[in-house]
Structures are given as C-alpha cells and as structure tokens.
Structure 1
C-alpha cells in the first residue's frame, strides 16, 4: 500500500470517528433531555426511564472521552500530563463498564415489566426509584474499584517510545504490570461474561413471553388486532434489538482486540477502527430508543406543532 492510500485511509478513519462522536453526543443528549422534560411534564416514570436516562448520560460521557482520546491518537497534545491521562483513560474505561452494566439492567427491568403476575419476578415490579438510584451508586463504586488500576498504570509519555510501555495515545501509555493487569483482566472478563449471560437469559425470557402473548392474541382477536403491538411489546422489541446489537458489537470488539496481539503498537488507524466498533453501540442505542419511544415521538410532534403555529403567527 503506497503512502497516498495510507494517508487517505487515515483521514477517512479520523473523520468517520469524529462524525460518530458528534452524532453520539447529540443523540444521547437529546434522549436524556427528552426524558427529563417528560418527567417534568408528566410527573411519572416508567420502570425503565431512570435506567434509560442513566445509559444516555453514560454514553454522552463515553463519546466525549472518545473524542479526547482520538485527538491525541492523531496528534500529540501539549496539555496532556499524568493527571489528564489518568482522568481520561479511567473515565473512558469506567463508562464502557457502566454501559454494559446499565444495558444489562435495562434488559432485566424490561423482562420484569413484561412478566405476568403469576411469575416470581412480579414482586420486583413496584420497586421505588430510590432503589434504582442506590443500585446505580453501587455500579459506579464497583466499576470504579475495578478500573482503579488505571490510576496507577497510566502515565504521560509525550514523544517517548519504550518497549516496556503499552501504547494508548501519543501522550499516554500504560505500564505493563503483568500480574496486576492479569488479575483485573480476569475480574473484568468474568463481570462482562456474567452480564452478557444475564442479558441473553432475560432476552430469551422476553422472546418466549412475546411469542406466548402473540399466540393468545391470535386466538382472542382478529389478525388485524393481533398484529398491533402494545406499547410494552414495542419497547420490548426495541430493547431486544439493542441487546442483539450490543452482543454482536461486544464480540466483534473482542475479535479486533485479540487480533492486535497482547502488545499494542502505534497504529492510529487500527486503534481508531477498534474505537469505531467499540463506540458504535453508544451512537446507535439512543437513536433506536428515540425512534421507538411513543412519548418522545408525541413530545417531538407537539413541539413541532408549536413551532409551526408560531411561524404562521409571525407571518
């Protein structure tokens, strides 16, 4: 591959990543604000509203840190020091772990919402928002403790190359710390595997409930009515779509990470492709949730109608 092709690929990858970050920040911010406005206007919450808002906040911060890391991958920044490197790398890693935890929680909550009254999950349906906030706090503390190793291993190394350091960006690297890294890697892998397994179980449970409900509807109603999905069924289908997409992206990200070997090299294109894959869920998830949320669509139509009336009056 000649230098012109390498330069073109580098530029294309850079602008694709920046575009993904911008779309992700905008979509997650809109989703978060719409849920806040819905709460202020309607004064009531669905079981999954807090978790969806929490996920949108996490993905907004994740996209911001991704943008910071991308700018330093393509060009070293003079203001990056030890504190900056430790803060950005730790925050990015923390948001990734919180993303999978909150996604798993969203899947479990939707399975509980969909479960019949006779189910053993029915007793969890009426938990207060305080319980959810306490669980969010637990997730933050637990994942921060696992990712705390980045506070020790991350160092600022501008314009320094060493075989003993693992490349992260042009200004930041990681000390190998083999045994510590192996311990925390094992813990993180066990956590991710457990959460994905829980997602698969809850998704399978929701699919079985939806199939059972569809068969009962076809017996009780006409085919036209049976084809109309209830709001809960539409929400469940969107979450099932997100679960499938997340699992696909997670394993694709693992394959790309493994293909680079145990040591990282200073390959900005490879790193950005990995970041594109790893952060695609944070960009797609708010778009799916916005498009399938009936209240959000009504709110947008209401605001659009007000804007049109105002423009007619001004004319």
Structure 2
C-alpha cells in the first residue's frame, strides 16, 4: 500500500511539474518573440509559425494539463457543463493548430533548404505569404471541425445511475455505439492525418536534399577531414529523430483516443494520457 501511495504522489508531482514548467517555458518564449517584434526586428516566416505554435501549446496546457493536475490532486467536479465544453473545445483546437503549425514548419524548412533547380525552389519567393495562409487556415479548420465535439461533452457525471453518460476524468461524454464512436474519431482526425502526411513528405524531401548535397560535395572534401559526421548527416539524424518521435507519439495518442471512445468505463491510466 505504501508503494501505491508513493507512486500516486509521484504522479501528482509529475503532473504539477510538467504543467508549471510547460506554461512558464512557453510564456517566456512568447514574451521573447513579442519583445523582438516590439523592438522593430523583422520577423521571419519561421518566427510567425513558432509564435502560433507557442500560443497553441499554451492553450493546450491551460485547458488540459491544469484540469488533469487538479484532478490528480483530488479536486472533483470543479467544472460546470459550460466549463467542460469550453475547456475540451479549446484544447482540441489547440491540438489541431499544434499539428498544423508543425506541418507548416516542416514545409517551410524543406522550401528553405531546397536547391535552385528543385520544385520546392519555386515557392521560395512566396514562402512567407503561403506560410501565413497555412497557419491561419489551420486555426480556421480546427475551429470548425471541432465544433461538433461540443455536442458530446457535458459536465461531470455526478450520479452513477445516469447510463447515458460516461465519466472521462473531470468531465463526461455522451455514450454512443462503438462503431459510431470510431467513425466519429476517424472523421475528426482527417485534417490531422493530412498534416501528418504532408509533414512526412516534407521530411523525406529534406532527407533527399541533404543526401544529394552530401554526394555533390564529396569531390571537394579534403582527405584530412576528421572522422566527425558531416553537417548533412547530423541534420538528417535530427530530422529522423524529431519526425519519428512526433509520429510515434501521435499514433499512440490516436490509439488511446479510440480506446477511450469505445470503452464505457475507461481506466484512470487511460484518462490521464493526452489524446489528439
């Protein structure tokens, strides 16, 4: 019993720590970008993407991590029906913008490093304009797509005899047929899957560009070059690591979301895993 109690305290501290560190870190980065903008520094396209990404991250932390932390520390029924709808909706909008902004960032980087003779190079002159459109498009699509989610979220399930609802942590969800639930989750995930596909495409393109550049530069390398990995190899490893990590965690999150949708009485462990 003591071990279980210690583990539960560790979970509480972990939730509290990641929430505080995440919010303070993202707010500091946002302050830095706003400070540079107020000083009159010219903002690059990548800076615009990162600002939107930071704002979306803050929304997710405020609307997901804080309620989860409060629940872990013993708070119950602290949100009303309207509060549950608002918090759940803003969280899902933020998640959609995070994925959309990350996709835009990958495409922007692929365009930036592309050689003059490639297809990506045609977009270099208009990259900033297109990136701005993509970022705001991700906000618009996320706001519209997740509006249907408001119909299925309600306040906390107070009475156990309410069979039409199932508890999902600090809020409740309307129960429906498992097949319909999976179809609903699949439809809501279409924009995210599309962004994920574009992200993979951009990452593969960057790897191909780096490999081609490395092969082209081989003939001017000196024989005395150290055994240290080339810049292209280090960049390729970073792209592979970041892309595979993002895709793996998103896939795991999708699986947990499907399990949460089709399960009538989700376990506490499943409820504490972030879902897309």
Moved more, 37-46 or 60-69: 37-46
Moved more, 91-100 or 257-266: 257-266
Cα deviation for residue 109 of structure 1 reads 1.1
Cα deviation for residue 190 of structure 1 reads 2.7
Cα deviation for residue 245 of structure 1 reads 1.6
Cα deviation for residue 228 of structure 1 reads 6.4
Q: Any conservation in 2 of the 1:153–1:177 contact (CA below 8 Å)? A: no
Whole-Å separation in 1 of the counterparts to 2:41 and 2:237: 26
In the other structure, the counterpart of 2:19 is 21
Cα deviation for residue 112 of structure 1 reads 0.9
Q: Any conservation in 2 of the 1:110–1:236 contact (CA below 8 Å)? A: no
In the other structure, the counterpart of 1:92 is 91
Whole-Å separation in 2 of the counterparts to 1:218 and 1:46: 32
Q: Any conservation in 2 of the 1:13–1:269 contact (CA below 8 Å)? A: no
TM-score normalised per structure 2? 0.83
Q: Any conservation in 2 of the 1:47–1:113 contact (CA below 8 Å)? A: no
Q: Secondary structure at 1:9's aligned position in 2?
A: helix
Q: Any conservation in 2 of the 1:28–1:60 contact (CA below 8 Å)? A: yes
Whole-Å separation in 1 of the counterparts to 2:78 and 2:158: 13
Cα deviation for residue 218 of structure 1 reads 3.1
In the other structure, the counterpart of 1:43 is 41
In the other structure, the counterpart of 2:214 is 214
In the other structure, the counterpart of 2:190 is 190
Cα deviation for residue 36 of structure 1 reads 3.2
Superposed CA deviations along residues 114-133 of structure 1, whole A, max 9, x for unmatched, are: 11111122222122655433
Superposed CA deviations along residues 207-248 of structure 1, whole A, max 9, x for unmatched, are: 111122222233224336x96649xx9888655543222112
Picking from 5, 8, 11, the partner of 1:10 is 8
Q: Any conservation in 1 of the 2:79–2:156 contact (CA below 8 Å)? A: no
Q: Secondary structure at 2:189's aligned position in 1?
A: helix
CA-based RMSD: 3.1
Picking from 62, 65, 76, the partner of 2:63 is 65
Whole-Å separation in 2 of the counterparts to 1:234 and 1:49: 23
Moved more, 102-111 or 68-77: 68-77
Q: Residues 186 and 70 from structure 1, CA distance in 2 versus in 1: closer, same or farther, beyond 3 angstroms?
A: same
In the other structure, the counterpart of 2:107 is 108
Moved more, 109-118 or 190-199: 190-199
Whole-Å separation in 2 of the counterparts to 1:10 and 1:89: 25
Q: Secondary structure at 2:164's aligned position in 1?
A: coil
Moved more, 207-216 or 29-38: 29-38
Q: Residues 54 and 155 from structure 1, CA distance in 2 versus in 1: closer, same or farther, beyond 3 angstroms?
A: same
Superposed CA deviations along residues 243-288 of structure 1, whole A, max 9, x for unmatched, are: 222112112323444566711536334422x13xx69xxxxxxxxx
TM-score normalised per structure 1? 0.73
Consecutive unaligned residues in structure 1, runs of 5 or more = 280-315
Whole-Å separation in 2 of the counterparts to 1:146 and 1:8: 41
Does residue 173 of structure 1 match 2:186?
no
In the other structure, the counterpart of 1:160 is 159
Alignment of structure 1 residues 73-92 onto 2, 5 Å: 73-74=71-72, 75-77=74-76, 79-92=78-91
Consecutive unaligned residues in structure 2, runs of 5 or more = none
